[in-house]
Structure 1
């Protein structure tokens, strides 16, 4: 049992769950109310992180080298870590420097309704916990091939794009969840393509930067990267 992984996942689970439970109570502007909270990549990503934390806790307690290990460490962890990396990378620069590109309906000089603790728990805690779990407790790099992961992350990007098209009623004056997505085609699809490519880039970066683990697993990881 990895005690450190158990601690990291448990802390992330508590903090992220608290953040999501408070974030979904925030009042949305009229142009976002029909689609609700389920349109936000932040909420979807945090939900995936929570599931990843739960599975990670289960693996820490039960151990083994079977299906639970693979699902926890080679499916959910890489998917969640790149998604939360994208969320944090896009959100924080816009939140600090161009807040009107990330929040709808803010008057000049106004601050978002979300409090700083909630903001941190849904936009920073998830990626921090996942990165700590990966680099401190996983003995080898992610084993999924880069082409396979590109297919996976592209499918997720297309899926999110189609999901938004399905739930957002532009004919009823509803908007996309983030102002920078509220643009005409083909620019919206281009934005999704760029973000998807960045997500894949994070996977390659994390795979490359993972050092040899205590069990020598890093050598196995390097062989799979070649």
Structure 2
């Protein structure tokens, strides 16, 4: 039986995230500059996390209507292991730095190094708040907590995601001359490696912490 509240959450999340991403292409000044960069919008962890969160919600919507598809639930819960920690880290780091040290998280436009690339609030929320919020609501309202065996996969999945993004962002920076996030540009390789490792640890801890707070056992 289709659960209307679950469908509503998934449709709303999918729509909001798609709106946020598509809106970036309508911000002419910002998009025209990013489009010239190696990796484009996908240099940003925000966009990669958005893609995984969107896919998780899309699979969840498919499960709402056709739960009998073989493996559909396993696919969604596996995606959740990657999507939820990434979205949580992106939201917490982004909003913290935006409110305290915006120059560390916002790039400046090339024609004016003192003018950061601020996004319209509705777009900002779609990119940096909706993924984490929708995933957490889905997890705590419609999902069950992960059992011991399933939760063990969080470490290798998180390590893989960290290695992937660390390699990718370093490659993009080598082509573009700067990193997509100023706090990476301002630090040497050794410090950046420490940042990647620290983010990996925080992602693992956040997953296990969020899972431990879940009241529903498998």
**1:42 lines up with 2:50 in the alignment:** no
194, 212, 215: which is aligned to 1:211? 215
Contact 1:32 1:175 in 2 (8 A): no
- Measured in 2, the distance between the counterparts of 1:46 and 1:33 equals 21
- The verdict on how the C-alpha distance between 1:99 and 1:33 changes in structure 2, with shifts beyond 3 A counting, is farther
Aligned to 2:86: 83
TM-score, with length taken from structure 2 = 0.87
Verify the 8 A CA contact 1:2 1:137 in the aligned structure 2.
no
Partner deviation per Cα, 1:52-82 (whole Å, 9 max, x = no partner): 111110001111384001111x211221111
Q: Measure, in 2, the Cα distance between the counterparts of 1:59 and 1:47.
A: 18
Find out whether 1:197 has 2:198 as its counterpart.
no
Question: Where does structure 1 lack aligned partners over 5 or more consecutive residues?
Answer: 213-217, 221-226
Give deviations 1:153-206, integer Å, cap 9, x for gaps.
Answer: 011001101112223335xx6201101111212110100011111111111011
CA distance in 1, matches of 2:48, 2:5: 26
**Alpha-carbon distance in structure 2 between the residues aligned to 1:94 and 1:115:** 17
SS in 2 for 1:15: helix
Deviation at 1:122, TM superposition (A): 0.4
Aligned length: 210
Distance 1:2 1:57 in 2: 10
State how far apart, in whole Å, the 1-side matches of 2:82 and 2:4 are. Answer: 23
C-alpha distance after superposition, 1:112-160 (max 9, x if no partner): 331000000000011111111110111x202454442111101100110
Gaps of 5+ in 2: none
Which residue of 2 is the match for residue 96 of structure 1? 99
Aligned partner of 1:136 in structure 2 is: 141
Matched, 1:6 2:10: no
Q: Which whole-Å CA distance do the structure 1 matches of 2:160 and 2:55 have between them? A: 19
| Corresponding residue number in structure 1 for 2:154 | 149
Task: Give the match's secondary structure for 1:92.
Answer: helix
1:22 aligns with 2:26: no
Q: TM-score, normalised by structure 1?
A: 0.84
Q: CA RMSD in A?
A: 2.3
1:179 counterpart (173, 177, 182): 182
Cα drift, residue 32 of structure 1: 8.7
